[in-house]
Structure 1
Amino acid sequence: MPRDLDLLKSVFGFDDFRPGQAEIVQAVCDGQNTLAIMPTGGGKSLCFQLPALVRDGVTVVISPLIALMRDQVRGLQAAGVSAGALTSGNTQEETDAVFAALERGELKLLYMAPERLASGGTLNLLRRIGTRLIAVDEAHCVSQWGHDFRPDYLRIGELRRALDVPLAAFTATADEETRTEIVEKLFDEQPPQTFLHGFDRPNIHLAFAAKNSPRQQILSFAAARKGQSGIVYSGTRARTETLASALRDAGHAAVHYHGGMDPDDRREVERRFQQEDGLIVVATVAFGMGVDKPDIRWVAHSDLPKSIEAYYQEIGRAGRDGAPAETLTLFGADDIRFRRTQIDEGLAPPERRSADHGRLNALLGLAEAHGCRRQQLLAYFGEEAEPCGNCDLCATPPDLFDGTVDVMKALSAILRTDERFGSGHLIDILRGTVTDRVQERGHDSLPTFGVGQDHTKPMWQAIFRQMLGLDLVRPDPERHGALRITQKAHPVLRGEAQVTLRRDTLKAARRPAAKMLVSEEDAPLLSALKAKRRALAENARVPAYVVFTDKTLIEMAETRPATLDDMARIGGVGAKKLESYGAEFLQVIAGEVEHMHPARRKLAGRAAGSLFDRLQDAATELLRGEDGTGKYLTIAPGTLRKIAERKPMSIGDLGRVTGMNDAKAERFGPAFLEILSEGE
């Protein structure tokens, strides 16, 4: 796919496709119905953006959130691609500009929200503008039982049939059940060409910790990463506000975000997060799929997410640029009770509630894992992996012990109190603590009273939390959270199954310092490059990463390009961005910038660039012929560029290049052809 590779470099600034991208791009370019499941940060958007440039007509992109669409459109426009979005967030001027570009036949990508498909005029519009491809971002939203269901996604299959065009669907979050539903709803159960390119995000460090003063745990985690962009997910609106305030009091730039805020205030938070380096957003999951910022360095959860899919998607917002990123997820018994109750009190049918408990169990198993977390996470999505070396348990293996006897004691206490009490009262019984409640109910006379005096209260809390995580017990919503025993616990009670637990002191673990993005030697240059990026971004009123991502700046700081040719070889520096920003960043790095004619700059970083230089040297030497007495003849830089790109191999071919004539071909031809033949 030579044309694709040329566009990959000239438009998007990449020398090669990421793993798995090339075959997906080829399938979409060929007009095949396509379903691609790729990890967040794996480059899904390029897999429909690049084919849109190769294919005739307009590519319509169905995307779930306005912020995500606007960010992608800004990024495309910055790379020189004609793209637009029709959203409720547009000004009238923006909407008029999009329609005008469509009428002129200039637009290659048109973004719209699924809700727009309900409008009667949408189908006629898409027919009139020559829609040739539908791309669906976040395709898992079509799943009615998924965590991000959008009812209007159900209209996309009908749109595909009406337009009779190929459809390419993309998502990072789809287990086998969800993939089956996507095929059924979008492709009429006719299997598309499916690409499953893994869920591994090796650059993301995974870590969980039991709750122990969660506010302080989050503050400590943020303190080690001060100045880096991060997200803290919290379970309630009130907690987002109090935690954001605590972070500000600790000296961080932090704001809160939740669904109860005024829409203008939410948009202002989104704008600030996109454009400011080092801002922390404390949010509910309302701050979701619209986050398209590639240089988020960390994500923390102050409360347990609702499922393993939600966890995977939320941590996936970190490190989209491929640079190191870190996560921390706090969890406790109260979280587990809350999530269980949410499921039990939901309106879903019994079989779906059972599946939701299974998804929560998978997340709890990850939280209480005994070995590499990445192995366990990938196993849930059907992948095998070696220990990753980039999670907390690989760094510090847990202290395991045979907890069978302790679990049997706890289960016995639950049964002997008729499954009517929560862990607090049960721990008092096990530890032999005489409270008014214990005495009133005569529980101090139970055989289990005092059988657990060998453990502290925090240790028993950890045991009960792990029992919840192992699904040996569940809170009973009809008894206000009292613990009841599950079928899974019966073999343990009968002595037929063993239970391994983690010894948990519940002391706040000391987090290692955040990994430096570059060496200490390169850190000052990276800071200077970020300052230049921020100034340019603020002047253009765009997010900083639209100028260059962190990953691109890191490569600049490490390789220190000395010329525009060197700069053009940096990942993420395409022709448009080299033209717009190359000289200014090169000045930060090298102090001085070579003067380069625009025609030569278009060849920067390419083999044709060095050919241009040699041709120009030869043209200068032959201005008055070989003996220096001939008529003065010059060749324009634009003509030299065409010769360097086309590489004509005869005097006749050379003379047909625009800007040449017979006299010039006769004088410069032999020298030019010798240079061009050597360049082959």
Structure 2
Amino acid sequence: MVHSTQDESSSAREILAQVWGFDDFRPLQEEAVGDVIAGRDSVVVLPTGGGKSLCYQVPALVRDGMAVVVSPLISLMKDQVDALQSNGVAAALVNSTQSEDQKRETAARIRRGEIRLLYLAPERLLSPRTLDFLTSIPISFFAIDEAHCVSNWGHDFRPEYRGLRVLKQRFPEASVHAFTATASERVREDIAEQLELRQPQMLVGSFDRPNLTYRMLRRDNALQQIMGVVEQHPGESGIVYCITRKEVEQTAAALAARGISTKPYHAGLDDVTRHANQEAFIREQVDVIVATVAFGMGIDKSNVRFVIHAGMPKSIEHYQQESGRAGRDGLASQCILLYSGGDLMTWKRILEMGDRSNFDEAMANVNAMAELCSGVQCRHAAIVNYFGQEFDVDNCNACDVCLGELDTVDDPITLSQKILSNVLRLQERFGVAYNVKVLTGSRDQKITRAGHDQLSTHNLLGNESAANVRTWIEQLVSQRFLQRTGEYNVLQLTPAGRELLHRRGTVTLTRAAPSSGGRSAKSPAVDSWEGVDRALFDALRAKRSELATERGVPAYIVFGDAVLRDLARIRPTSIARLGDIRGIGQRKLEEYGEIFLTEIDAYCQQTDLSRDVAGADSPSTPVSTSSPPKSIKGAMAQQEADEMFAKGISIDEVAEKMGRASSTVCGYLSEYLRSAEITDASAWVSPERIRLIEAAIPASEDGRLKPIFEAVQSQQTLDPPISCDEIRIVFTCWQNRVDA
């Protein structure tokens, strides 16, 4: 039932700012939030890292009643509940690992109306006992995460998800909202039909992830290639995906032998070991997890800086979701895919051992993925186009194609003619590997017995490596000049290929260029570190890890990497300014603000760094004397403090009324003094202290407070000693007089 009000809609932004520390919704988030608030059924497709969870978490705090979130994995539910609780949100989960006492306590809290979001697996939700219990509770809406599992056409169909259609029957007044990162139009329509949604809104975000740099590399000494990427990210989190369990074990052991902090993860490990390895990765006790694709759906880790596929995934849908584990925090991250022609046959063997009813479609997905690997189109454009969207950027500056890391063959048409002619002379009866052998001059017994060593095309590319020739054949396939057909993937010319034989058409063939370190001069990876003091970032990261360990939560739940980089870039001087940083909500400001401010103060005093740096300026930039733009939550708190300061209320009284620390209120006071252009500090600092501070101001030539503090300390004998907050207050009033 649609029941949205203007008040509910407007309060969503206030909640976003107060709880999560964000001033604005991401693209499509606001529309998705509006649909949930209004009670309109919806299907929402947002890429991994696009902020799907906020689309139902924010409305849960706006709407009356309790929201129920359906999630497939215990680890994913636990991470989301931990993150919500760290932001001061009353959230809970019920699962098989809990004791009966824990479940009863959660049920009691639900009856008392204390829980705003309840997380359940589909099997538990659909049990008669749970459904009966929930019918007695005011339910605001149901949010179904990983909703592609509903559809048989999706890439991870789960039969238990089909039973969720009962929700519209048992809870006719509650809206149902399906969320997923990957769903074609057919899958979206199937989700809506299977869940019996009523005239659902269909919201599909852009499938592009501009902060990710994609590279598709021919596999050649995979371990060395993997190490090359890992060494670019010392101490940072990364995932290495392998196709088989054996490859996982071998790769993890090889990385560990080279001193990399790593653990394996695959379905063949016992539950205890698998869970322990996953937790070690999430809690940053190991840097790299080597895994099969069984690892991923339950991972809500925001600061994965690289994802390496040591083998080709079985579909572009899988690749988009797996590579999307990187950079969920919006910071630049790398996605490296190592592939070979053998990957296609590996997947064919695996699929033949499974459900054959979907075999043809599954192989079509494998072939599409192979074409992406060998293609020469911008990787971002190719992925977005695959999902039916346009990519209107000429150069993404974030893939091996656009970064110029592939060398273009000088005369691609002549080279193509040689390959296409060979396919014809073999009567279009052989696959890639056989064509490569003939073109490179192999005298394999099978070739000589067939007389193919006598063909005019035999050894025609004998001066090229077999890997290069294979790559060119695959590029001709990806550009639709050749096609694979039949059970054995025999090569045949397409009509466009026959035209190319007569030099009619345009083709691009490339060979891998020597690696230049993998980043352009102005790549996203450079931009995201601009102005960040790396040593301070590392110090804050260590403090975050310490706090996370104390609280038993993943490190990114304390603060994400994006927040730490902003802290190490801006280096705020007060709680008020720290609260203006995107991603710091009110609860985290209260819990962690003083701790991180102390770390920043200590580091900057040792290094004499400037503070309150605006934008992405370098560490040597002097402190800005103008106020940075205020966030919604910061502006509301500042306004409340300003009104009390204007009435002459003291710092201690303001701190008590607002429930804030004195140091926080001093930050508010500094902002008030600056904006109101107050020139007399005597209402807050004694005349004697003012004289000492003003006498020391000439010690600072660039507006930094540390030289003033040191000069005052060398002169004064007051008890208690003059504090940094007092210096800031007096300096602000003095500056207002000078600027008047």
Common topology (TM > 0.5): yes
**TM-score band, normalised by the shorter chain?**
0.7 to 0.9
- Secondary structure at the aligned position of 1:45 is classed as helix
Check conservation: 1:341, 1:475, Cα contact below 8 A. Answer: no
| Distance in 1 between residues matched to 2:14 and 2:112, nearest whole Å | 26
Residues 286-321 of structure 1 show CA distances to partners (whole Å, capped at 9, x for unaligned) of 002101001111101000000000000001111111
2:436 paired with 1:427 = yes
107-116 or 365-374: which moved more? 365-374
| Distance in 1 between residues matched to 2:442 and 2:49, nearest whole Å | 52
Q: Which amino acid aligns with 2:24?
A: D
> Alpha-carbon deviation of 1:234?
0.4
Check conservation: 1:203, 1:323, Cα contact below 8 A. Answer: yes
Find the counterpart in structure 2 of residue 564 from structure 1. 575
| Distance in 1 between residues matched to 2:403 and 2:573, nearest whole Å | 39
2:518 paired with 1:511 = yes
Residues 338-385 of structure 1 show CA distances to partners (whole Å, capped at 9, x for unaligned) of 234555665344xx5444344334323322232321112111112212
Find the counterpart in structure 2 of residue 86 from structure 1. 94
| Distance in 2 between residues matched to 1:140 and 1:79, nearest whole Å | 29
Find the counterpart in structure 2 of residue 462 from structure 1. 471
Q: 1:254 aligns with which of 251, 262, 266?
A: 262
2:617 paired with 1:609 = no
Find the counterpart in structure 2 of residue 629 from structure 1. none
Find the counterpart in structure 2 of residue 142 from structure 1. 150
2:28 paired with 1:20 = yes
Gap change, CA 1:207 and 1:635, over 3 Å in 2: closer
- Gaps of at least 5 residues in structure 1 are 594-602, 624-633, 643-680
Find the counterpart in structure 2 of residue 674 from structure 1. none
Find the counterpart in structure 2 of residue 412 from structure 1. 424
Q: Which amino acid aligns with 1:584?
A: I
Find the counterpart in structure 2 of residue 272 from structure 1. 280
- Secondary structure at the aligned position of 1:208 is classed as strand
- Secondary structure at the aligned position of 1:395 is classed as coil
| Distance in 2 between residues matched to 1:281 and 1:508, nearest whole Å | 25
Residues 36-70 of structure 1 show CA distances to partners (whole Å, capped at 9, x for unaligned) of 11121111101101111111111110111111111
| Distance in 1 between residues matched to 2:87 and 2:589, nearest whole Å | 10
340-349 or 262-271: which moved more? 340-349
Find the counterpart in structure 2 of residue 659 from structure 1. none
Check conservation: 2:417, 2:500, Cα contact below 8 A. Answer: no
Check conservation: 1:526, 1:553, Cα contact below 8 A. Answer: yes
Gap change, CA 1:592 and 1:618, over 3 Å in 2: farther
> Alpha-carbon deviation of 1:17?
1.5
| Distance in 2 between residues matched to 1:376 and 1:124, nearest whole Å | 48
Check conservation: 1:38, 1:197, Cα contact below 8 A. Answer: yes
2:182 paired with 1:170 = no
Check conservation: 2:154, 2:183, Cα contact below 8 A. Answer: no
How many residues are treated as equivalent by the alignment? Answer: 612
Check conservation: 1:209, 1:329, Cα contact below 8 A. Answer: yes
- Gaps of at least 5 residues in structure 2 are 1-8, 605-631, 661-740
Gap change, CA 1:529 and 1:174, over 3 Å in 2: same
Gap change, CA 1:442 and 1:548, over 3 Å in 2: same
Residues 586-638 of structure 1 show CA distances to partners (whole Å, capped at 9, x for unaligned) of 10112399xxxxxxxxx9823443542552574458x9xxxxxxxxxx97865
Find the counterpart in structure 1 of residue 386 from structure 2. 380
- Secondary structure at the aligned position of 1:415 is classed as coil
Find the counterpart in structure 2 of residue 661 from structure 1. none
| Distance in 1 between residues matched to 2:235 and 2:121, nearest whole Å | 34
Find the counterpart in structure 1 of residue 599 from structure 2. 588
Find the counterpart in structure 2 of residue 672 from structure 1. none
- Secondary structure at the aligned position of 1:319 is classed as coil
> Alpha-carbon deviation of 1:180?
1.4
Check conservation: 2:217, 2:338, Cα contact below 8 A. Answer: yes
Q: Which amino acid aligns with 1:115?
A: E
Q: 1:500 aligns with which of 507, 512, 517?
A: 507
| Distance in 1 between residues matched to 2:222 and 2:495, nearest whole Å | 30
Gap change, CA 1:129 and 1:246, over 3 Å in 2: same
Check conservation: 2:644, 2:654, Cα contact below 8 A. Answer: no
Gap change, CA 1:604 and 1:38, over 3 Å in 2: closer
| Distance in 1 between residues matched to 2:154 and 2:479, nearest whole Å | 23
| Distance in 1 between residues matched to 2:370 and 2:232, nearest whole Å | 26
- Secondary structure at the aligned position of 1:7 is classed as helix
> Alpha-carbon deviation of 1:501?
4.6
Check conservation: 2:323, 2:335, Cα contact below 8 A. Answer: yes
- Secondary structure at the aligned position of 1:377 is classed as helix
Find the counterpart in structure 2 of residue 309 from structure 1. 317
Check conservation: 2:210, 2:398, Cα contact below 8 A. Answer: yes
| Distance in 1 between residues matched to 2:177 and 2:262, nearest whole Å | 38
Residues 71-115 of structure 1 show CA distances to partners (whole Å, capped at 9, x for unaligned) of 000000111111111122334454333223213221111111112
Check conservation: 2:372, 2:478, Cα contact below 8 A. Answer: no
| Distance in 1 between residues matched to 2:228 and 2:655, nearest whole Å | 58
Q: 1:359 aligns with which of 354, 362, 365?
A: 365
| Distance in 1 between residues matched to 2:249 and 2:72, nearest whole Å | 26
Gap change, CA 1:475 and 1:98, over 3 Å in 2: farther
| Distance in 2 between residues matched to 1:257 and 1:141, nearest whole Å | 22
> Alpha-carbon deviation of 1:432?
3.2
Q: 1:323 aligns with which of 318, 327, 331?
A: 331
2:542 paired with 1:535 = no
Find the counterpart in structure 2 of residue 524 from structure 1. 535
Residues 625-661 of structure 1 show CA distances to partners (whole Å, capped at 9, x for unaligned) of xxxxxxxxx978655789xxxxxxxxxxxxxxxxxxx
406-415 or 566-575: which moved more? 406-415
Q: Which amino acid aligns with 2:582?
A: G
| Distance in 2 between residues matched to 1:451 and 1:613, nearest whole Å | 82
| Distance in 1 between residues matched to 2:121 and 2:560, nearest whole Å | 26
| Distance in 2 between residues matched to 1:540 and 1:318, nearest whole Å | 25
Find the counterpart in structure 1 of residue 627 from structure 2. none
Q: 2:79 aligns with which of 68, 71, 74?
A: 71
Find the counterpart in structure 1 of residue 375 from structure 2. 369
Check conservation: 2:252, 2:262, Cα contact below 8 A. Answer: yes
| Distance in 2 between residues matched to 1:498 and 1:414, nearest whole Å | 23
2:565 paired with 1:554 = yes
2:50 paired with 1:39 = no
| Distance in 2 between residues matched to 1:604 and 1:193, nearest whole Å | 31
Residues 219-245 of structure 1 show CA distances to partners (whole Å, capped at 9, x for unaligned) of 111111121100011000011111111
Gap change, CA 1:390 and 1:120, over 3 Å in 2: same
401-410 or 320-329: which moved more? 401-410
Check conservation: 1:414, 1:484, Cα contact below 8 A. Answer: no
Q: Which amino acid aligns with 1:227?
A: G
Q: Which amino acid aligns with 1:186?
A: L
Check conservation: 2:87, 2:587, Cα contact below 8 A. Answer: yes
| Distance in 2 between residues matched to 1:561 and 1:508, nearest whole Å | 39
Check conservation: 1:210, 1:506, Cα contact below 8 A. Answer: no
